[in-house]
Copies of this chain bind each other. A is one copy, B any other.
Amino acid sequence: MAKTLARSPLAPDAFPALPVIKGVRFASAAAGVKYAGRNDVMLAHLVPGSTVAGVFTRSATRSAPVLDCQAKIGRDPKDGDGAAILVNSGNSNAFTGRAGEGSVKALCEAVSTAMDLPTERVFTSSTGVIGERLPHERIVAKVADLVAGLDEAGIAGAAQAIMTTDTFPKGATAEIEVAGAPVKIAGIAKGSGMIAPDMATMLVYIFTDAAIDREDLQALVSGINDRTFNCITVDSDTSTSDTLLMGATGASGVRVDRNTTAFVEALERVFLDLAQLVVRDGEGATKFVTVRVSGAESAADARVHALSIANSPLVKTAIAGEDPNWGRVVMAIGKSGAAADRDLLSIRFGDVVVAEKGWVSPDYREEMGAAVMREPEIEISVDLGLGEGDATVWTCDLTHGYISINADYRS
């Protein structure tokens, strides 16, 4: 990324004020992995007793740090074990053979030594170019500075340090009461291209001061991820590095579990906020698009249809052109492979009924659809008229900006 990209027109006005999550501290530094003149490494430390859960890309060519995290994630903390998360941008350490595993090991050992943590409690992520050796020694050289700089209020800086082609840092938060006691959740994310279900080119780190067993935390993370990050798509491409880690410090003294409704709902809001922020930063995006499919034979079918619409280059370019070309929605449903009956289909753009029962609605006029398409946020709703299955996914349009960004990312 040689050039600076303009902030997405769909970006929020500002980075949110994220609360301090007791028990977790952050630091950022400029290690010069690839980018010059900016922070490109972040370290988070969680107090002893914290539980950690995660979900990862299912790519068959996933990166060395992902494989390392997956090997470590299913363990309960021992007494006195803290945890650390070390993340760099600029180089994904993916498809780097045995050298890649060596880099992960070097990073984990450096943090382990500096913070007196077992290496099994050090998680790393790397994001950026694939297939180039990670100059881990540059990061190792900054570990002491990072440890010295750990700060409860450092989360905003961490959100900055993990960016690649992102045009804005992404954060979300929720504060609730559980049995009268306050519980806080805060998260950060990066990602803007190579975003598709099965996660995305996304790194996501979410923290809470609630106390929760590791198994319950993992169940919540896996389930909510399926309804949020796995329901967004920018370009249908799936990264080799996707990682979501969540840490629960317990520092609030409030214990929750997978059935604590207020906590689960708040956590899902944070996940969804972050997921939608990634779409809002979709490379070249000018429209935020919600695709709702109902009346499918099953929820799985609804999801297949919704993703077929959301990933269709012809649908996405029509939206970019503010063209209410609902025929392309019909095309995307037809090609999806899931059950559909042309003559039962209905399609709405926003509140406007565009097509029903296999043909354009008698009351529809092109200008009605065009008016919806001029909005920055667009909802496409399809009812298949077959059953009870529904699904919602979020995506963006496909524009000249996407081409510009991706036709010269590396050279």
Chain B CB count within 10 A is highest, among A99, A317, A328, for: A317
A100 to B331, CA, bound (A): 16
* Closest chain B residue, CB of each to CB of A62: B334
Q: By the criterion CB–CB under 8 Å, are B235 and A330 in contact?
A: no
Partner of A320, one of B62, B336, B403: B403
B-contact 0/1 string along A358-400, CB 8 Å cutoff: 1110000000001000000000000000000000000000111
Residues from chain B with a CB closer than 8 A to the CB of A194 are: 314, 331
Q: By the criterion CB–CB under 8 Å, are B402 and A358 in contact?
A: no
Given known contacts A313-B402, A318-B406, is B332 in contact with A97 (CB within 8 Å)? no
A107 to B239, CA, bound (A): 50
Q: By the criterion CB–CB under 8 Å, are A131 and B97 in contact?
A: no
Given known contacts A95-B359, A335-B196, is B409 in contact with A313 (CB within 8 Å)? no
Residues from chain B with a CB closer than 8 A to the CB of A119 are: none
A198 to B129, CA, bound (A): 33
B-contact 0/1 string along A201-231, CB 8 Å cutoff: 0000000000000000000000000000000
Least Cβ distance of A189 to chain B in Å?
19
Cβ of A193 < 8 Å from any Cβ of B? Answer: yes
Q: By the criterion CB–CB under 8 Å, are A407 and B323 in contact?
A: yes
Chain B CB count within 10 A is highest, among A198, A237, A320, A332, for: A237
Given known contacts A325-B409, A359-B131, A406-B321, is B95 in contact with A61 (CB within 8 Å)? no
Q: By the criterion CB–CB under 8 Å, are B318 and A407 in contact?
A: yes
Partner of A402, one of B96, B100, B198, B317: B317
From residue 109 to 157 of chain A, which have CB atoms closer than 8 A to chain B? 129-132
Given known contacts A97-B359, A240-B330, A359-B95, is B410 in contact with A325 (CB within 8 Å)? yes
From residue 47 to 103 of chain A, which have CB atoms closer than 8 A to chain B? 57, 59-62, 92, 94-97, 99-100
Residues from chain B with a CB closer than 8 A to the CB of A236 are: 236, 311-313
Least Cβ distance of A157 to chain B in Å?
28
Q: By the criterion CB–CB under 8 Å, are B130 and A330 in contact?
A: yes
Chain B CB count within 10 A is highest, among A132, A335, A338, for: A335
Given known contacts A97-B343, A332-B237, is B131 in contact with A355 (CB within 8 Å)? yes
Cβ of A34 < 8 Å from any Cβ of B? Answer: no
From residue 164 to 216 of chain A, which have CB atoms closer than 8 A to chain B? 193-194, 196, 198
Q: By the criterion CB–CB under 8 Å, are B97 and A357 in contact?
A: yes
Q: By the criterion CB–CB under 8 Å, are A406 and B312 in contact?
A: no
Least Cβ distance of A410 to chain B in Å?
5
Q: By the criterion CB–CB under 8 Å, are B403 and A331 in contact?
A: no
Cβ of A411 < 8 Å from any Cβ of B? Answer: yes
A320 to B398, CA, bound (A): 16
From residue 299 to 355 of chain A, which have CB atoms closer than 8 A to chain B? 311-314, 317-318, 320-323, 325-328, 330-336, 338-343, 345, 355
Residues from chain B with a CB closer than 8 A to the CB of A290 are: none
Partner of A95, one of B57, B131, B311, B342: B342
Least Cβ distance of A233 to chain B in Å?
11
Q: By the criterion CB–CB under 8 Å, are A59 and B235 in contact?
A: no
Residues from chain B with a CB closer than 8 A to the CB of A62 are: 334, 342
Cβ of A13 < 8 Å from any Cβ of B? Answer: no
Cβ of A238 < 8 Å from any Cβ of B? Answer: yes
Seed contacts A132-B360, A313-B406; 8 additional CB < 8 Å A-B pairs:
A61-B345, A92-B327, A130-B331, A194-B314, A235-B313, A318-B410, A320-B403, A400-B403
Q: Nearest 5 CB-CB pairs, A to B? A: A130-B327, A321-B407, A61-B334, A59-B334, A97-B359
Q: List 7 A-B contacts (CB under 8 A).
A: A59-B331, A60-B336, A60-B341, A95-B330, A95-B358, A130-B327, A239-B331
Report which A residues bind B (CB closer than 8 A): 57, 59-62, 92, 94-97, 99-100, 129-132, 193-194, 196, 198, 235-240, 311-314, 317-318, 320-323, 325-328, 330-336, 338-343, 345, 355, 357-360, 370, 398-400, 402-404, 406-411
